[in-house]
């Protein structure tokens, strides 16, 4: 047998995120993770063809279609993990190995792959990891605590969070809130995400940002991602989740809001379905996942205060919305100082 030259992997892209070290075959961009200490295992993200993955076991475990019914996200149990598929990219998520295999379709933009890894694949791996729960929510830090906004895509979570960040309140995340059990303090801590916000073009202008300071977010979206050029404040460490503001459920049509922002306390019974509905899911029928999620959600529900939040969809309302939220929290928790701007 003659000499053999085996291809070796090139220098992997690395960054720290959600207290994990991400080691990736894919360039995840120049996003900066939080400076918080990284004390957990590495998550390896490898490029590998789907034909090498174990076969899906049975039908889909979870499907989340677009509004027109076309598939957006589908998951299948496979081997020790899950295959998840988006229109332009498939992943094999292995929580025991802390490994994500990725097989993008030919020609898919790098930004799209990076977005699907950072905002979908890694959060779902963490959602399968004991001690973590992941919500579709934006979050900002007010003094030493965190307030979150729960709502569907397009309801203004990111814009609201960005408006807090522009006023000096450290931002944890615009869409993906990772909450981690901290053994040391014996409480659930909301973790900072990467230091960027995704915004629609009209929000960029309304927040007074220059579009040239933002970069492509994903090949299929007109949203843009903020970079270092944007002077936002970002959280550097985790903090207890103290309050959740719940935006109106789009599935329950209500008259358009007019007048000042409305903040109303929610009972646990009222808030719990929205909290549970905001969890990143991969297999809603798995009893062990559900058992773990139940423990986390009920634990959070016993310590977090909930409010409904409705306001006129007018950017000029943002200062009043921020003030209403801060006033509600200050009046009910006693642990906040009002620093509305």
Partner 1 sequence: MSAAAPEKFLVPKNVLSRTVGTETILLNLDTSTYHSLNAVGGRFWSLVQAGSDFQQALTVMRGEYAVDPAQLESDLRALCAELQSLKLIEAA
Among 27, 291, 313, 314, binds partner 1 (CB under 8 A): 291
CB 224 within 8 A of CB 216: yes
Among 287, 316, 334, 337, binds partner 1 (CB under 8 A): 287
Comparing CB distances to partner 1, the nearer of 54 and 273 is 273
Among 284, 338, 339, 341, binds partner 1 (CB under 8 A): 284
Question: Using H for helix, E for strand and C for coil, what is the string for 123-183?
Answer: HHHHHCCCCEEEEEEEEEEECCEEEEEECCCCCCHHHHHHHHHHCCCCEEECCEEEEEEEC
Q: Distance between CA atoms of 84 and 121, rounded to whole angstroms?
A: 8
Minimum distance from residue 139 beta carbon to partner 1 (Å): 21
Among 57, 105, 268, 331, binds partner 1 (CB under 8 A): 268
Comparing CB distances to partner 1, the nearer of 227 and 277 is 277
* Pattern 227-266, partner 1, x by CB under 8 A: ----------------------------------------
Among 301, 320, 330, 340, binds partner 1 (CB under 8 A): 301
Contact flag: residue 272 with partner 1 (CB under 8 A): yes
Nearest CA-CA partner of 203 in 138, 248, 149, 158? 158
Contact flag: residue 302 with partner 1 (CB under 8 A): yes
Contact flag: residue 60 with partner 1 (CB under 8 A): no
Comparing CB distances to partner 1, the nearer of 55 and 59 is 59
Distance of CA 159 to the CA centre of its chain: 14
Among 14, 66, 273, 341, binds partner 1 (CB under 8 A): 273
Minimum distance from residue 94 beta carbon to partner 1 (Å): 23
Contact flag: residue 38 with partner 1 (CB under 8 A): no
Task: Decide: helix, strand or coil at residue 200.
Answer: coil
Q: Distance between CA atoms of 178 and 235, rounded to whole angstroms?
A: 13
CB 195 within 8 A of CB 234: yes
| Strand duo 42-47 + 99-104: pairing | parallel
Nearest CA-CA partner of 140 in 241, 229, 261, 228? 241
Q: Which stretches of the chain bind partner 1, using CB under 8 A?
A: 267-269, 272-273, 276, 284-285, 287, 290-291, 294, 297-298, 301-302
């Amino acid at each position: 047998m003659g000499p053999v030259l085996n291809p070796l992997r090139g220098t992997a892209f690395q960054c720290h995120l959600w207290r994990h070290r991400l080691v990736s075959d894919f360039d995840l961009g120049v996003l900066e993770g939080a400076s918080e200490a990284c004390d957990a295992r590495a998550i390896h993200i490898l490029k590998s063809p789907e034909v090498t993955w174990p076969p899906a076991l049975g039908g889909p475990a979870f499907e989340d279609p677009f509004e027109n019914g076309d598939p957006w996200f589908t998951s299948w149990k496979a081997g020790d993990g899950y295959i998840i598929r988006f229109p332009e990219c498939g992943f094999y998520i292995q929580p025991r190995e802390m490994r994500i295999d990725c097989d993008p379709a030919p020609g898919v933009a790098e930004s799209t792959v990076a977005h699907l890894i950072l905002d979908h694949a890694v959060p779902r791996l963490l959602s399968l990891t004991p001690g973590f729960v992941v919500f579709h929510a934006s979050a900002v830090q007010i003094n030493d605590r965190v307030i979150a906004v729960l709502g569907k895509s397009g309801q203004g979570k990111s814009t609201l969070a960005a408006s807090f960040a522009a006023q000096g309140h450290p931002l944890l995340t615009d869409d993906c809130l990772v909450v981690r059990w901290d053994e040391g303090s014996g409480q659930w801590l909301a973790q900072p995400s990467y230091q960027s916000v995704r915004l629609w073009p009209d929000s960029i202008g309304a927040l007074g940002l220059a579009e040239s300071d933002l970069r492509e977010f994903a090949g299929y979206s007109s949203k843009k991602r903020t970079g270092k050029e944007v002077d936002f404040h970002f959280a550097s460490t985790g903090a207890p989740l103290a309050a959740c503001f719940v935006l109106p459920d789009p599935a329950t049509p209500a008259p358009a809001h007019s007048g000042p922002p409305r903040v109303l306390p929610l009972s646990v019974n009222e808030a719990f379905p929205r909290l549970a509905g905001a969890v990143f899911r991969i297999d809603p029928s798995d009893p062990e996942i559900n058992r773990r999620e139940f423990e986390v959600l009920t634990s959070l529900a016993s310590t977090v205060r909930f409010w409904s939040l409705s306001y006129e969809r007018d950017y000029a309302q943002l200062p009043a919305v921020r003030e209403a939220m801060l006033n509600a929290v200050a009046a009910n928790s006693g642990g906040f100082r009002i620093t509305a701007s």
